[in-house]
Amino acid sequence: MSKVVTRFAPSPTGHLHIGGARTAIFSWLLARHFGGEFVLRIEDTDLERSRQEYTDSILASMSWLGLDWDGEPVYQSQRFDLYNKYIDQLLEEGKAYWCECTPEEVEAMRETARANGLKPKYNGRCRERGLEAGEGRVVRLKAPLIGKTVFKDLVKGTIAFDNSELDDMIIRRADGSPTYNLAVVVDDATMGVTHVLRGDDHVNNTPKQVMLYEALGLPVPEFGHVPMILGPDRQKLSKRHGAKAVIDYKQTGLLPQALVNYLVRLGWSYGDQEIFGLQELIEKFSTDNLSRSAAGFDPEKLLWINAQYIKKTPDAELAELVRPFLAESGFDGVGAAFLAVAAGMYKERARDLIELAAAMQPVLCADADLPFDEKAVEKALGEEGRGHLAALREAFAACAEFDGHAAHEVLQKYVADKGLKFKAVGPPLRVALLGAMGGPDLSAVMGLLGKERTLARLDRAVAL
């Protein structure tokens, strides 16, 4: 196979949403799988709605997801001369023509067709008139009137359209700008794109694009149209389903690899496997396993995948990922080693970095600021509980070397000597150290806090 070149072609009229991200990921995976190229094109011909800030945001989202592109992004707004060159070629070869019908006239033709029970379309009035360029005139493709336009879709199988159903499409507007289909075909062809993967909202454009390739004598790429992502209620996905822009997922503490993993699985499968490393995805990805049916977005499943990724991220790395989220709650400048241990202690149960940051606060906050859960205090810090804490305090204070292991030994000995069950001392100790029930292993917490801070917390609880 010649070199595979795929592309992602967003319109910068909004932030990158998860549907767009998913087709970008598929295209990226296909290129990386074959050692080919993945190119980026910014479709900014709609000058009214396109904004530089959205281009910046889309590029930032792609980088965050780890979707690197080859070469510089191509901007459609800078390629009008190129589009005109191809339009001129079609005009010269008699494959396109100038048309002076006004939009109102074309609408009237459609009305007439509709009234006669025919497909509403432009009636070809200027097709054979040999008009020259002129004010207010558009250029139309002289499309074949009979036969079929057929392409083999990588996802949907063979798709055929009757040419009689299709209009002589406009390829150059009256203001001189190229239309979307013309620009995309010229771009994909000149950028050497071999495989076009995109959302199936574009499937109706594809026969028109195939006609243009044929008219221009350019090789037609492979197409694959992936079904849309729907909400859990099978309606078009929107914010009300909890779907966010990619950039917002960063703010809510998702790991980019988790989002990539989730989005890939939403529309592609490899047996029942749910979790894939990036390298593994690159190796296993094939358009053969792209799903033909629309997938439902499930925020809970996304969080579940994220939790798996948090668990398997090395502690030191996770510490740096959660650091900005801690800073937001005022926990700045925590030492890297301390933070890594703390992150490791809490990562088992966190579904995103916000949850992780919140869970870690009891070990990070100053001993004098540890908040206490009133109910837990009431339950665990009665007279008996405080008595155990006072006794344990002395035993911990007597340790020459204090670490998690030593703390564990002291605890075991205390319980054994007194003939107690661990649950007599666990809850008061937990409330003293962490302010509430629940949380990680107590010996590990004490090892992390160290002797001085452990004693300070016990003293505070005894004095409550």
**Of 268 and 402, which has the nearer Cβ to ligand GLU?**
268
Please report, as residue ranges, which positions from 171 to 200 form the binding site for ligand GLU (by CB under 6 A): 184, 198
Q: Phi, psi (5° rounding) for residue 100? A: -110, 10
Tokens of 4: 């595979």
Please count the CA atoms within 13 angstroms of the CA of 355 that sit on its side-chain side.
15
Q: Write down the least CB distance from residue 284 to ligand GLU, Å.
A: 24
When the beta carbons of 11 and 149 are compared against ligand GLU, the nearer one is 11
Q: Which of residues 42-101 bind ligand GLU (CB under 6 A)?
A: 43
Q: Which stretch binds ligand GLU (CB under 6 A): 5-13, 125-133, 147-155, 311-319?
A: 5-13
Give me the DSSP letters along 67-89. Answer: ---SSPPEEGGG-HHHHHHHHHH
Marked catalytic residue, from 148, 236, 239, 375: 239
Give the ranges where 116-197 is alpha helix by DSSP (H). Answer: 180-190
Pair of tokens at residue 275:
């979790």
Q: Quick one: which segment of 7-15, 78-86, 233-241, 438-446 binds ligand GLU (CB under 6 A)? A: 7-15
> How many other CB atoms are found less than 10 A from the CB of residue 270?
15
Residue among 11 and 313 whose Cβ is closer to ligand GLU? 11
| Residue 239 annotated among the catalytic residues of the structure | yes
Give the separation between CA 416 and CA 426, rounded to whole angstroms: 14
- As measured in angstroms, the least distance from the Cβ of 352 to ligand GLU is 28
CB of 215 to ligand GLU, least distance (A): 18
Q: How far apart are CA 461 and CA 464, in angstroms?
A: 5
Q: Does 202 bind ligand GLU (CB under 6 A)?
A: yes
Pull the structure tokens for residue 52.
């530089």
Q: Does 11 engage in binding with ligand GLU (CB under 6 A)?
A: yes
Residue pair 424/387 in contact (Cβ under 8 Å)? The answer is: no
Q: Work out how close the CB of 247 gets to ligand GLU at its nearest, in angstroms, rounded to a whole number.
A: 16
Binding mask 366-405 for ligand GLU (x = CB under 6 A): ----------------------------------------
**396 near 458, Cβ under 8 Å?**
yes
CB closer to ligand GLU out of 9 and 182: 9
Long-range contacts (CB closer than 8 Å, 24 or more residues apart) made by 456-459: 456/367, 456/368, 457/367, 457/370, 457/432, 457/433, 458/389, 458/390, 458/392, 458/393, 458/396, 458/429, 458/432, 458/433, 459/393
For ligand GLU, how many residues bind (rule: CB under 6 A)?
A: 7
Query: Please, which residue, 203 or 360, has the CB nearer to ligand GLU?
Result: 203
Smallest distance, ligand GLU to C-beta of residue 192, A: 15
Distance CA 6, CA 11 (A): 17
Q: Can you give the binding site for ligand GLU, defined by CB under 6 A? A: 9-11, 43, 184, 198, 202
Q: What residues act catalytically?
A: 239
